[in-house]
Amino acid sequence: MDNILEVEHLKMYYCGKVETVRAVDDVSFHVERGETFGIVGESGCGKSTVCKSLVKMMPPPGRIVDGSVRYNGRELTTLSEGQMRAVRGGEIGMIFQDPMTALNPVMKIKDQIYESLRRQKLSKKEMYARGVELLRLVDIPEPEKRMEEYVHQFSGGMRQRVMIAITLAANPKLLIADEPTTALDVTIQDQIIRLIGRLKEELGMSVIIITHDLGVVNEMCDRVVVMYAGHIVEQAETRELFDHPMHPYTQGLIRSLPRAEGREKLEPIPGAPPNLAAEIPGCPFADRCARCTPACREALPPLREVRPGHLSACVHDDLEVSV
């Protein structure tokens, strides 16, 4: 098995003066070369934080307390800021949720692309040619004209394409897309998803998609982990996860999806995720779980293989229900 990224027992805590927030708590997963890997969960469950910690971009007072992140076998957690910068500007690229806020409003598009090309030591002319080529790659019409423009002159979908182009300028081998479609209109979302899929094939990248949208997962991902309250609660191949969701949280997520066929009513998961500053002895989902038993509150349930290649962190064994 050829893994581009291996994450083991990663713990990223916000160590504030008053309280410690366990934003990422003992998370392990791997991404295979050439696959599209999904991380799903509600907002605030720690999925974005995981990805920020991979490239050591946690906002203060965030700290990686324990665990390891290996990219192509190379340990990242011990790298200096300077070495880390080279990784960020090269091997691992990131796309943000809202292209309106993630692009600098006062810099021309071309200058923002040039920044990504800085490590490649190109001449001005080569940079310009490469910039135009990149904009063309992400299907932006009239790239020469667009190079000279500013973010506010682009529409939402075009902005997201620009951001993808900027990220691709550094030739990343691993692309992390943090909610790449959330801020976009539904009609545009599909275009962007297909664009990312196409670029992945053309450029031979591996992709991590972070999303709260199971539809996106279904469409794009080969494998997926479900996160809740800083923990991974379930991990499986996409088909398997949708066919046999094992964890009550995943089941809840799937039940809360609007479906085309049938007129069943939506079932939102009641309650809200727990406060990560407080110590939770048992299963973090217990408070919102319909199947909660006293055993759930005793200890944190470990991830166990419940079906071939399918891990779930629930104390109840035989919980597969049709959803």
Work out how close the CB of 222 gets to another protein at its nearest, in angstroms, rounded to a whole number: 24
Alpha-carbon distances, residue 6 vs 42, 67, 73 (angstroms): 23, 11, 8
281 DSSP assignment = -
Give the DSSP per-residue string, 214-231. Answer: HHHHHHH-SEEEEEETTE
- 109-138 residues near another protein, rule: CB under 8 A: 115-116, 118-119
Near another protein by CB under 8 A: residue from 1, 2, 18, 266: 18
Helix (H, G, I), strand (E, B) or coil at 8: strand
Question: Tokens for 19?
Answer: 């309280």
- The residue (of 101 and 155) whose beta carbon lies closer to another protein is 101
Question: Which residues in 254-268 are b (16+ Cβ under 10 Å) and which e?
Answer: ebeeeeeeeeeeeee
- The residue (of 159 and 310) whose beta carbon lies closer to another protein is 159
- The residue (of 88 and 200) whose beta carbon lies closer to another protein is 88
Using the rule CB under 8 A, is 272 a contact of another protein?
no
Binding mask 147-186 for another protein (x = CB under 8 A): ---x-x----------x--xx--x----------------
Q: Per CB under 8 A, which region of 16-24, 33-41, 229-237, 286-294 contacts another protein?
A: 16-24
Question: Tokens for 316?
Answer: 């109840």
In whole angstroms, give the CA distance from residue 27 to residue 67. 8
Provide CB contacts within 8 A for 140, sequence distance 6+.
146, 158, 161, 162, 165
Using the rule CB under 8 A, is 19 a contact of another protein?
yes
Upstream peptide bond of 61 is cis (omega within 30 degrees of 0): yes
133 backbone dihedrals φ, ψ, rounded to 5°: -60, -40
Alpha-carbon distances, residue 147 vs 61, 133, 137, 164 (angstroms): 37, 11, 14, 14
Q: Which amino acid is at 113?
A: I
Work out how close the CB of 152 gets to another protein at its nearest, in angstroms, rounded to a whole number: 5
- The residue (of 127 and 269) whose beta carbon lies closer to another protein is 127
* Size of interface with another protein, in residues (CB under 8 A): 37
Give the DSSP per-residue string, 157-169. Answer: HHHHHHHHHHHHT
CB of 233 within 8 A of CB of 314? Answer: yes
Work out how close the CB of 97 gets to another protein at its nearest, in angstroms, rounded to a whole number: 8
- The residue (of 2 and 81) whose beta carbon lies closer to another protein is 81
Q: Per CB under 8 A, which region of 30-38, 219-227, 275-283, 286-294 contacts another protein?
A: 275-283
Using the rule CB under 8 A, is 96 a contact of another protein?
yes
Near another protein by CB under 8 A: residue from 41, 62, 89, 301: 89
Near another protein by CB under 8 A: residue from 36, 49, 53, 97: 97
In whole angstroms, give the CA distance from residue 285 to residue 281. 11
- The residue (of 118 and 239) whose beta carbon lies closer to another protein is 118
Q: How far is CA 29 from the centre of its chain?
A: 12
- The residue (of 151 and 195) whose beta carbon lies closer to another protein is 151
Near another protein by CB under 8 A: residue from 129, 203, 272, 277: 277
- The residue (of 4 and 232) whose beta carbon lies closer to another protein is 4
Work out how close the CB of 1 gets to another protein at its nearest, in angstroms, rounded to a whole number: 28
- The residue (of 18 and 260) whose beta carbon lies closer to another protein is 18
Question: Tokens for 188?
Answer: 């545009």
Residue ranges binding another protein (CB under 8 A): 18-20, 55, 57, 85-90, 93-94, 96-98, 101-108, 115-116, 118-119, 150, 152, 163, 166-167, 170, 275, 277-278
